[in-house]
Homo-oligomer: A and B are copies of this chain.
Amino acid sequence: MPIPEPSPSRPTLTVQVMDAVRGRIAGRMLAPGARVPSIRAFAREQGVSASTVVEAYERLVAEGVIAPRPGSGFYVAGRPQPLLLRPGAPVAERDIDPLWVMRQALDGSEALKPGCGWLPQAWMPAEAIRRALRAAARSPDIALVDYATPLGFPPLRAQLSRRLAERGVEASPEQILLTDSGTGALDLVCRLLLQPGDTVVVDDPCYFNFLGLARAHRARVVGVPMTPSGPDLDAFERVAAEHRPRLYLTTAALHNPTGVSYGPAVAHRLLTHCAAHDVTVIEDDIFGDLEPEAAAPRLAALDGLARVVQVGSFSKTLSAAIRCGYVAARPDIVGSLADIKLATAFGSNDLSARLVHSLLTDGSYRRHVEGLRAKLARAMGETARHLAEAGLRPWILPKGGLFLWAVLPEGADATAVARRAMGQGVVLAPGNVFSVSRTADRYMRFNVAQCGSPRVFEVLREALAG
């Protein structure tokens, strides 16, 4: 397919009209609850066609900025609606609400959870963590009671710097900032780099919490379709030209939910496009340690942390109870992030950092992760086989990690299937939860480590049968 001519880097008329409405709201010229100008009046005022205004208003409605009242026009959504992450969604839509899946998965019930995003408890290194806790109990007093330094526990930052170097990412310990989670690391970077109304590019499909995160920052989200070797670069180019995004939020190794690891050519071309359009990349490397061989080039390595910011954590591989994430970035970015971290969290959890450090340095982590890779590889094969028996087809066979992105049989509706399975005590993750365009309703994400029970597939078959 030929690469289309790049469109000029100007917003479309629709986007301009949307901006004008947003501006009036931000500037209090339109208060919450106020009536937005009529389509005809606003078209005249802005010198555009009525259909442009119709489209702009429809997109603002979809974003929850304005709301229609039948027979009476459009009104500015009431406050504090922009940050109610589920602004009055009707019950019927809750099935494709990402928070629904998270809450179901997190609620601590006894349900089987092939739709969740973490490893089973039995796969995690509880004994090593007990050892680390006992070692922490022998720490000097200061470690037990004092605030962390602004960037966080120096020995862990030094250790992370060495680990990143092994993957070709050059980041000195002063370029690494610790946070209380990987999500917290993403959030902190968004706080620095995003302003309300900015556009963020995500993969379609992507980790569902990216959508919640963007919403929490009042950012607009635009999706780029995922291909088996990375994002669709032609689509990326078009989106970059039309929407002037500020950030691209992605995972280059063992992408969630698809399991894709970027090919080298895709990674290189992507960075070229980002440079051309001045897009900063946040690379969430949370699954990187689960890659069997370090084949996929990290964007942060190719780019030398110039316009890539890498974040990661140990929640998936070590413990979700020991919360510790990191950001690796340019020194100027790290300095600004440290200020925001002070203002909004005062510091990070040094005790968690100490525990992670002790597990990284005593060899437990490396042994544990090697064991995980082997178990995940087996589970991947078995899950793919069981899914095939149930009539599902893996979209690709990932090189490793937790996730299989599976295509349902013709005619099946993932949301309906998930709803039925939920009734049988099985939490599934329907595709549209991950899709900003909501075009993944024949897909489901399976966590192969959570598919050990035959009941998962029994319930899945029943749910597919309706």
Contacts and interface: CB of A to CB of B under 8 A. Distances in A.
B20 A84 contact: no
Interface stretch (A210-218, A232-240, A449-457): A210-218
A193 B79 CA distance: 8
A124 B150 CA distance: 21
Contact of A130 (B83, B144, B346, B349): B144
B83 A336 contact: yes
A465 B36 CA distance: 63
Contact of A27 (B27, B108, B212): B27
A72 interface: no
A180 interface: yes
Interface residues on A, range: 35 or more
Interface in A65-88: 79-80, 82-86
A192 B23 contact: no
Nearest to A244: B28
Contacts of A130: 137-138, 144
A349 to B, nearest CB: 5
- One complex includes copies of this chain to the number of 2
Q: Is the interface of A mostly helix, strand, loop or mixed?
A: helix
A149 interface: yes
Contact of A26 (B22, B141, B351): B22
B184 A85 contact: no
A378 interface: no
Contacts of A174: none
Nearest to A133: B137
Interface in A204-226: 209, 212-213, 215-216, 218
A-B CB proximity, top 10 nearest: A23-B27, A26-B26, A212-B343, A124-B145, A133-B137, A126-B141, A147-B320, A183-B346, A85-B339, A187-B344
Interface of A: 11, 19-24, 26-29, 79-80, 82-86, 99, 102-103, 106-108, 118, 121-122, 124-126, 129-131, 133-134, 136-138, 141-150, 180-184, 187, 191-193, 195-197, 209, 212-213, 215-216, 218, 315, 318-323, 336, 339-340, 342-352
